């Protein structure tokens, strides 16, 4: 029964992704869309791809920093394969955090230190979300005169409120007890158990302020570079709109695609890109093409990650296998 339920949820997310893509394709001129992508400036496209690589490297450094703070100080040879696998599975699993589960499971299996690995992945994602919120708020303040659509302000307020709620529940004992008591019912039992597990795991980092601060600093770098990748893609298509729009819209889109609604954010990311950038005067064809080019880069990097993961899987399994008699 549980397997059927999970399969049903997965199927629903696939259907949502496909439905959103089909809807968008019906709203654009497919010939013009493909023409835009074929004529994209190769140098600017390469620059965007290079920034994607830098973003992934910074995210890797952030995770390594948190692992070291949790007492897991491993070399690149041990950490790159699970991280590469995470990049690959982020494309195909629900939301943009499915790969976090894969890399955590993989590293926990080889290190036998599940609590620390899970905690590092949770704080890694949380600090990334924190950087995203900070950049979106500061950018919105800077671009108040250019951005007048109410939905943008509501979106930023919502993602900021979510961050505040997460921090209070995870790191404040009083709020955690209150929320835990509210979830004391059979209907919310699984949610309560999940919340308790997350609270316990992240507790490891309550006194690791230096590592958490450094991870947040790295996250700010990531969230400053991510909008630039979209900006370069937009320029590669021959369109030039205000850079401030990218610093406001891209973090919002990134926050929403973390929700387990679609597969790897596909369809959802594209629909949000078309919706928000229309407010900056960017046409549907251009916005959709920009999103698809970004997804293509992610797909190529994910393929590289998948190959790395697969070709090192057997070696890592042999290494992590207990010796006879142990």
Start-to-end C-alpha separation, the chain: 36
Tracing tokens 């930023």 back to the chain, one arrives at: 156
- Please report the pLDDT score of residue 100 as a whole number: 82
d(CA 221, CA 219): 5
112: left (phi over 0), alpha (psi -120 to 50) or beta: left
Q: How many CA atoms lie within 13 A of 245 on its CB side?
A: 22
∠ at Cα 232 (229, 236), nearest 5°? Answer: 140
- Token pair of 249, please? 């819209």
**Which residue is it, tokens 């496909």?**
18
pLDDT tens string 241-264: 999 999 999 999 988 887 766 666
What per-residue confidence (pLDDT) applies to 314? Answer: 58
Average pLDDT over residues 43-70: 95
Q: CA 227, CA 205: separation in Å to the nearest integer?
A: 29
Burial category of 74 from C-beta neighbours within 10 Å (exposed 0-12, middle 13-18, buried 19 and up): middle
Instruction: Give dist(CA 165, CA 221) in Å, integer.
Output: 24
- Name residues whose C-beta falls within 8 Å of residue 236's C-beta, 6 or more positions apart in sequence: 40, 41, 42, 44, 45, 48, 293
Compute the Cα dihedral for 151, 14, 265, 146 and give only its sign: negative
Residue that is written with structure tokens 């770098």 in the block = 221
Tens digit of each residue's pLDDT (9 = 90 or more) over 158-202: 999 988 988 887 777 777 777 777 766 666 666 666 667 677 767
More confident: 168 or 142 = 142
**pTM listed for this prediction:** 0.84
């Amino acid at each position: 029964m549980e397997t059927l339920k999970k399969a049903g949820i997965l199927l629903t997310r696939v259907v949502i992704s496909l439905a959103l893509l089909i809807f968008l394709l019906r709203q654009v001129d497919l010939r013009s869309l493909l023409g835009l992508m074929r004529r994209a400036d190769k140098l600017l496209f390469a620059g965007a791809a290079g920034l994607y690589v830098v973003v992934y490297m910074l995210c890797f450094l952030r995770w390594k920093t948190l692992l070291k703070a949790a007492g897991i100080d491993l070399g690149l040879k041990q950490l790159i394969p699970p991280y590469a696998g995470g990049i690959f599975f982020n494309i195909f699993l629900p939301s943009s955090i499915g790969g976090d589960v894969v890399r955590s499971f993989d590293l926990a299996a080889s290190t036998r230190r599940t609590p620390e690995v899970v905690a590092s992945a949770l704080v890694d994602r949380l600090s990334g979300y924190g950087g995203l919120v900070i950049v979106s708020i500061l950018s919105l303040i800077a671009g108040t005169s250019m951005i007048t659509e109410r939905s943008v302000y509501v979106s930023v307020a919502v993602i900021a409120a979510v961050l505040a709620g997460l921090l209070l529940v995870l790191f404040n004992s009083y709020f955690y007890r209150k929320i835990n008591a509210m979830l004391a019912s059979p209907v919310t039992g699984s949610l309560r158990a999940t919340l308790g597990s997350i609270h316990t795991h992240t507790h490891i980092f309550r006194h690791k302020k230096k590592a958490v601060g450094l991870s947040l600093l790295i996250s700010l770098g990531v969230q400053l570079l991510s909008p630039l990748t979209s900006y370069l893609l937009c320029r590669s298509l021959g369109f030039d709109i205000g850079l401030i729009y990218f610093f406001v819209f891209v973090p919002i889109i990134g926050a929403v695609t973390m929700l387990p609604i679609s597969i790897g954010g596909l369809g959802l990311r594209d629909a949000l890109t078309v919706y928000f950038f229309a407010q900056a005067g960017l046409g549907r064809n251009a916005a959709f093409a920009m999103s698809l080019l970004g997804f293509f880069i992610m797909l190529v990097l994910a393929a590289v990650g998948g190959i790395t993961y697969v070709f090192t899987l057997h070696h890592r399994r042999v290494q992590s296998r207990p010796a006879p008699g142990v």
